[in-house]
Amino acid sequence: MTRHEPKTHRAIPNWMYPFAAIAVLFLVIPIWALLWRLPWLEIGELITAPASIDALWLSVWTCSVATLLCVIFGAPLSLWCSREDQYGPWQAKLARLTRGVLRLPMVLPPVVAGLVLLQTWGRYGLLGQYLDLFGWRIAFTSVAVVIAQTFISLPFFFASFESALRASGHKYERQARILGAPSNTIFWQITMPLVRPALASAAALAFARALGEFGATLTFAGSLQGVTRTIPLDIYLLREDDTGQALALSLVLIILAIALAVFAQFIGKSAKWQTEEHRDKRPANPESDTVKLAAQTEAVRQLAEKLADSKTGPQIRVQAQVPERKVTIDTTFPAGQTTALVGPNGSGKSTLLSVLSGTLGYDGQVDLGLKKVGILEQKPVLFPHFTNQTNIEFALRFSHPNLNRAARAERAAQALAAVGTSHLAKRYPSQLSGGEKQRVAIARLAAGAPEIVLLDEPLSALDEDAAKQARQLLKEVLAALKATTVLVTHHSQDVLELAHWMVVLKQGKVYRRGEPDALLGLLGDDPQKAKLAVVWS
C-alpha cells in the first residue's frame, strides 16, 4: 500500500534543507572533534585528579547556590512583571521598564560584568567599602564566584520564566480569585503547579549559564584552586599544558549540560495532567452524551435540597463607568432572577460582567455586598492539574469553609452526579469534551451555591445537542440556587428559556430593558429562529 505523508511535511521548500543540515553539522562536528581527540584510556585518572575534583566540586556547589538565588529572587520578580496587564498604568509602566532593564546584563560582555561587580562589591567598591568596615571581603572569594554566576544567569532565568508566564496567562489565577481563594493558596496550589515545567527549564538554563561562566568570574573572583577556580577557568589554564585533562573536563561539562536538558524535559513532562499519553488513554464515553434529561432534572432537584443554605440572591444596583472602554452603565438586576444581557459586539457586555466579578477597575458604585459569586464562561476554566472532583472540592473550600474534607468530597460527588458526570470524577479536564467540561463547570457552580451568578455566553461553544442539554441543566440549577443571575448571550433561545428580565446594551450604555416576552415580541412570530439583533437595531 502506498503511504501518503501529511501535507505539512512538504511545507518547507526543498532549498532550505541544506541550510538546516549545515546548521546541524556546524554544532555537532566540534563536539565530535572533542570526543575524537579525548584520551579515552586515561579519562578516569584525568577526571579524578585533585585539581579537577576541586574545580568540579566548586562549580557544582556555586552553580547550585546561584541557581537557587535565581529562583528565590527571580521567580517573584518574573511573576510580578508577567502580570503587567492587571496593574494600573504606572505599575504597568514600571513592570515594562524593569523587564527592559533586567535584560541588559544579557548583552553585557562578561568581562565588563566582572568589572562592574568589582566596582560594587570590591574592597573600595560602592557597597564593598562598608562591608570592609566589618572585615567582610567578597572579591576573590567563593562568594564572589556565586555573585558573578548569579549576576550573569539571573537575566537568563528571568527572560525564560517571565515570557513563559506571560504566554500562559492568568485565567486560572483569576478563576481561583473569583472562587474566593486567598493569594497564598492561589500561589502555592494554582500558580506553582502550573508553572513548574517553565520554572524547571528556566532554572536549568540558569544553571547551565552559571556552569559556563568565565569572564566575570575571572575578573571579579580570580582563579585560586579550590576557592575560585571553576571548571571553565581550569580548562582555560590547562588547555596548553595538559590538553588531555582540559578535554576530559570539557567532556564533564558537556555531560552535565546534557543531564540538565534531560532533567528539564523530564520535569516538563512529568505532570500527569499534561502528558499526551494520558490524554490518549481517554476511554470512549457514550454515557455522558445520552444522559436522560428527566433523570437529570430529578438529580438537580435533589441537589437543590442539599443547597438548603442557598438564600435568594440580592438585587444588584450598578452605576459604573469604565472611561477607557467608553462604557457607562446605570441599571438594576432584579433579586433572585435571571437577567439576559444582550447587545451588539463591543457594546460593553463583557466589560459589565468583569466589573461585576471584580476583575476590572471602574468609577462609580456596584453594590454586591459580601455575597458569594459564581461564574461560568464560554470556555469553562477548570484547573488542569486537578481532577474534576478535586476542582469542585477546591471551590467548596472557599464557598463553604465550614465543611470538612469528607463533607466537601460528598457534596462534590453529589454535584457531579446531578449533572450526569459521576463517571468523570477522577479524570482531568484535558480528558473531557467541551460539553463534558461545561457540565463539570455547572456542577462546580451548583455545589458552591452562589447568591450571584455571572454567565458569559456559557453555551456558545457547544454544538446544538450539548447546548440544549446544558441549557436545561442550567435552568434547573439556577431555579434551585435562586441566585441573581446575569446572562450574557447572543441567542434568543437562551433568553426565552432562561431569562426573567432583559437589559439591552448599545455603544456602552443601556439602550432598552424589560420583560423578555415584550422585547422578544419585536422579533416577530417565531422569536426562536429570529436574530436577537432586531432588539437593538
Ligand X SMILES: Nc1ncnc2c1ncn2[C@@H]1O[C@H](COP(=O)(O)OP(=O)(O)OP(=O)(O)O)[C@@H](O)[C@H]1O
- Minimum Å gap between C-beta 29 and ligand X is 50
- DSSP code per residue over 495-518: HHHH-SEEEEEETTEEEEEE-HHH
Q: Which of 67, 201, 338, 347 touches ligand X by CB under 6 A?
A: 347
Please say which residue, 269 or 326, places its beta carbon nearer to ligand X.
Answer: 326
In the complex, minimum distance from the CB of residue 195 to ligand X, in angstroms, rounded to a whole number: 23
C-alpha cell at 371: 455575597
Quick check: 339 binds ligand X (CB under 6 A)? no
Does residue number 328 form part of the binding site for ligand X (CB under 6 A)?
no
Q: Exposure pattern of 266-301 as b/e (b: 16+ CB <10 Å)?
A: ebbeebebbeeeeeeeeeeeeebeebeeeebbebbe
d(CA 278, CA 272): 7
- The least CB distance from residue 507 to ligand X, in Å, is 9
Cβ 439 vs Cβ 419: under 8 Å: yes
Residue 351 CB, nearest approach to ligand X (Å): 3
Contact positions with ligand X (CB under 6 A) in 351-410: 351
Residue 98 CB, nearest distance to ligand X (Å)?
22
Residue 458 contacts ligand X per CB under 6 A = no
- Least Cα distance to 295 among 469, 505, 155 occurs for 469
Least distance in angstroms from the C-beta of 323 to ligand X:
11
CA angle 515, 518, 523 (to 5 degrees): 125
Tell me the C-alpha to C-alpha distance, in Å, between residue 428 and each of 110, 140, 255, 384: 46, 53, 37, 6
Q: Which stretch binds ligand X (CB under 6 A): 49-57, 207-215, 349-357, 523-531?
A: 349-357
Taking the CB of residue 516, how many other CB atoms lie within 10 A of it? 22
Region of 6-14, 253-261, 345-353, 511-519 interacting with ligand X (CB under 6 A): 345-353
Any contact of residue 537 with ligand X (CB under 6 A)?
no
Minimum distance between the CB of residue 392 and ligand X, rounded to whole angstroms? 28
Q: How far is the CB of 489 from ligand X (least distance, A)?
A: 10
Nearest distance from residue 340's CB to ligand X, in Å? 13
- Give the separation between CA 15 and CA 20, rounded to whole angstroms: 10
Contacts with 459 (C-beta within 8 Å, 6 or more apart), sequence order? 438, 467, 470, 471, 474, 489, 491, 494
Contact assessment for residue 410 and residue 379, using Cβ atoms and an 8 Å cutoff: no
Contact status: 201 vs ligand X (CB under 6 A) = no
Handedness of CA 473, 475, 481, 484 (dihedral sign): positive
* Closer residue to ligand X (CB): 117 or 329: 329
Q: What is the CA radius of gyration of the chain?
A: 31
Cα–Cα–Cα angle for 183, 188, 189, rounded to 5 degrees: 95
Is the CB of 457 or the CB of 476 nearer to ligand X? 457
Judged by CB under 6 A, the stretch of 45-53, 340-348, 478-486, 511-519 that binds ligand X is 340-348
For ligand X (CB under 6 A), the number of binding residues is 10
Measured from the CB atom, the residue of 83 and 325 that comes closer to ligand X is 325
Q: Pick the binder of ligand X from 120, 350, 378, 460 (CB under 6 A).
A: 350
Q: Choose among 96, 107, 112: nearest CA to 156.
A: 107
CB of 187 or CB of 511, closer to ligand X: 511
Tallying the residues shown for the chain, one arrives at 537
Count the neighbouring beta carbons within 10 Å of the beta carbon of residue 134. 7
Q: Which range, of 105-113, 177-185, 342-350, 429-437, touches ligand X by CB under 6 A? A: 342-350
Taking a C-beta distance cutoff of 8 angstroms, is the pair 341, 505 a contact? yes
Interaction of residue 348 with ligand X, rule CB under 6 A: yes
For residues 160 and 485, which CB has a smaller minimum distance to ligand X in the complex? 485
Q: Which stretch binds ligand X (CB under 6 A): 128-136, 164-172, 220-228, 343-351?
A: 343-351
From CA 470, how far away is CA 438, in angstroms rounded? 8
Q: Rule CB under 6 A: is residue 345 a binding residue for ligand X?
A: yes
Cβ atoms of 209 and 63 within 8 Å: the answer is: no
Q: Which of 472, 454, 529, 486 is nearest to 342 (CA)?
A: 486
**Minimum distance between the CB of residue 350 and ligand X, rounded to whole angstroms?**
3
Q: Is 325 in the site for ligand X (CB under 6 A)?
A: yes
Chain position carrying cell 463607568: 321
Q: Which of 349, 411, 439, 444 binds ligand X (CB under 6 A)?
A: 349
- Does 346 help bind ligand X (rule: CB under 6 A)? yes
The residue (of 350 and 472) whose beta carbon lies closer to ligand X is 350
- Is residue 343 near ligand X by the rule CB under 6 A? yes
By C-beta, is 185 or 378 nearer to ligand X?
378
Minimum distance between the CB of residue 352 and ligand X, rounded to whole angstroms?
A: 7
Q: What is the DSSP letter of 311?
A: P
* Residue closer to ligand X (CB basis): 278 or 509: 509
Is 345 or 402 the residue whose CB approaches ligand X more closely?
345
Report the nearest approach of ligand X to the CB of residue 341 (Å).
Answer: 9
Task: State the cell numbers at 455.
Answer: 454567565
Could you give the count of Cα atoms lying within 13 Å of 477 in the half-sphere of its Cβ? 32
Based on CB atoms, which residue is closest to ligand X, 114 or 348? 348
Task: For ligand X, give the closer residue by CB, 353 or 483.
Answer: 353
Distance CA 170, CA 166 (A): 8
C-beta closer to ligand X: residue 450 or 508? 508
Identity of the residue, 203 or 322, whose beta carbon is nearer to ligand X in the bound complex: 322
- Helices 243-270 and 192-211, packing angle to 10 deg: 170
> CB 345 → ligand X: shortest distance, Å?
3
Residues that bind ligand X (CB under 6 A): 325, 327, 343, 345-351
